[in-house]
Structure 1
Amino acid sequence: MKNVVVLTGAGISAESGLGTFRDSGGLWNKYSIEDVATPYAFENNPALVLEFYNIRRRQLLNAQPNDAHFELNKIKKKFNLFVITQNIDDLHERSGTENTLHLHGKLIESRSTIDNRIYPINGSELNIGDYCNRGGQLRPNVVWFGEDVPNMSLAIKQVSKAFIFVIIGTSLNVYPAASLVNYAKKAKRIILIDKNPPLLSDIEVIREKASIAVPLLVSDLLKMSF
C-alpha cells in the first residue's frame, strides 16, 4: 500500500479542549515561554516548570480524542498511515493510531536529568523529589525551546516516502517541524487543513477546522484511483 503521512499541530487537539499556544485567555497567557519551556527555566525554577506541565497533564487526562483523530484512522483501509505530531498529548494513540511519531515529546512521560532514560508518569503529577533509578530529578519528556528535536531525522525519512502528505492544524511557524513540507518531493498531493492557513504555493488548502475537514478529506482519499 502507498503511504499517507500526516503532520498534526495544536489545531487538531484544540477541538478536544486542549488550549493552543496562541489562544487568548488560555494557559499560555499566564506564563511566559522563558519561565516554563526552556532548559534555563527548569534549572532556575524547576517547581514552577513542573507545576505548569502538571496543569497541562490534568487537562489532558480530562480530554478525549475528537472526530478528526478517529477519522484519520479510516485512511488505513487503503493506505499505510503514519502520523507525525508536534503535540505532546496522546490523543492520536488513544484514537487507535499505531504509527505515531512525537516530535516534541510526550506529556505522559518523564525523563532522567542524568541519562535521558524515559519513565512513564502515573497520574498527573511530576514533582520535585521524583527521581530516576540513578537518583536524578525527573523532568517532563518534552522538547523545550532551544533544545534539539531528536526525532526530526525519522520524520524527514517518513515524509520523503509520502504518496500523500497532509498537514493539519499547524501554522507551520515552528521549526524545524515546519521544514518537513520541503521533503515531500515525491508526494502526489500535499494538503493543508487549517482555519487560518499560511500562504503557501503548490499546496491544496482546506480552510476549515479539523473535525469538519478531515472526514471530507478521508472520504476523498479513499475514492482515489492510482
Structure 2
Amino acid sequence: MSGLKNRLEKSKKIVFLTGAGISQESGIATFRGKDGLWQRYDPMKFASIQAFIDNPKLVWNWYNDRRREMLVANPNLGHIAIANLQNYRHVSVVTQNIDGLHQRAGSRDVVELHGNIFDTKCTKCDFKSTMKSEFFDLQICKSCGSYLRPDVVWFGEGLKQEIWNEAVIHSMNCDMMIVVGTSLTVSPANSLLLYAKRNHATLVELNPANSPYSDEMDFCIRKTATEGLPTLFSIFGTI
C-alpha cells in the first residue's frame, strides 16, 4: 500500500472508472451478477428498442421502478471520497452507472458511458429533456408527438461517439486510473484500461473480487469502495 500511496502523491490527473459495485453500496440493485436484475428480468423485454416499440408503457414503468430506487439512494463514502479528491488532484470520473450519484456527491467532471436514467430523448427526433418530477408518466415529445424514451444505452445500441471520445481522451491523458466496483466484463468500457496503460498510467483495481484484468493491474485492493477509497485518500487528510 505504501508504494501505491507514493504514486498517488505524485499523480496529477486521476481517472476513476466506476461500475455497479459502488452504487450497490448505496442500495441500488446491480444489473449483472448473481443477484442482478437480469437474473430476474429478460433484458430484451425491458432494455431494448424493440421492447419499447412493442410495449412502451411496460418498459417505461419498469424504468420508473429503477428511478424511484435511485431517488431514495444517497451517495456513499466512496462517491464522496472521489468528489473530495478534486480538492487535491485533477479528477475525472468515467462511469458505467446511470444513477447520477457521482454528481450528487459533488464530482464535477463525470462521463456517463451508458447515459442517465433521469434523462429522456425522443424516439424520432432530436428532442431531449430531463425529468424533474417524482411521478414519471410516459411522456410525449413536445416537438413531434412521438414517445420519449430513457436516454440510456440499451442492448443492441452503441455508445454515443462524443461520450466515448471524451472517455478515451481522459484515459489517454491520465497518470493513474482507479477501477472501482466493476468486473470489467462490459465492452468497450474495459478497453479504456489499454488507453491508460499506453500512457504508462498506474492501474489500480479496487473491488472485492478478481476481474479478467486483475493481472494487468499495478495494484489490487480487495475492498469495497466505501472501505477502500477513504483509507487510500487519507494521505491528503480527512476526505
Deviation track 1:169-202 (CA, whole Å, cap 9, x = no partner) reads: 0010111111111110224311011111214323
Matching of residues 88-103 of structure 1 within 5 Å: 88-103=98-113
Question: 1:54, 1:124 within 8 Å by CA — same for their partners in 2?
Answer: no
Q: 1:16 aligns to what?
A: 26
Q: Are residue 140 (structure 1) and residue 150 (structure 2) matched?
A: yes
Instruction: Give how far 1:129 is off.
Output: 4.8
The CA distance in 2 between the partners of 1:24 and 1:188, in whole Å, is 32
Instruction: Give how far 1:77 is off.
Output: 2.7
The CA distance in 2 between the partners of 1:212 and 1:21, in whole Å, is 22
Deviation track 1:54-97 (CA, whole Å, cap 9, x = no partner) reads: 00000011110000000112322321010011000010011000
Q: 1:165 aligns to what?
A: 177
Q: Which runs of 5+ in 2 are unaligned?
A: 1-10
The CA distance in 1 between the partners of 2:216 and 2:31, in whole Å, is 27
The CA distance in 2 between the partners of 1:194 and 1:143, in whole Å, is 24
Q: Are residue 202 (structure 1) and residue 216 (structure 2) matched?
A: yes
The CA distance in 2 between the partners of 1:157 and 1:121, in whole Å, is 29
Q: Are residue 178 (structure 1) and residue 193 (structure 2) matched?
A: no
Aligned-residue RMSD, C-alpha: 1.9
Q: 1:130 aligns to what?
A: 140
The CA distance in 1 between the partners of 2:134 and 2:116, in whole Å, is 13
Q: 2:6 aligns to what?
A: none
Matching of residues 3-82 of structure 1 within 5 Å: 3-22=13-32, 24=34, 27-82=37-92
Instruction: Give how far 1:27 is off.
Output: 4.2
Q: Are residue 149 (structure 1) and residue 164 (structure 2) matched?
A: no
Structure 2 letter corresponding to 1:100: V
Cα 1:138–1:217 change in 2 (3 A) is same
Q: Moved runs in structure 1, 4+ residues, more than 6 A?
A: none
Relative to structure 2, which stretch is displaced further, 11-20 or 123-132? 123-132
The CA distance in 1 between the partners of 2:33 and 2:216, in whole Å, is 29
Relative to structure 2, which stretch is displaced further, 81-90 or 187-196? 187-196
Query: Among the aligned pairs, what percent are the same residue?
Result: 35
Q: Are residue 212 (structure 1) and residue 227 (structure 2) matched?
A: yes
The CA distance in 1 between the partners of 2:139 and 2:119, in whole Å, is 16
Question: 1:132, 1:138 within 8 Å by CA — same for their partners in 2?
Answer: no
Aligned residue pairs: how many?
222
Structure 2 letter corresponding to 1:103: L
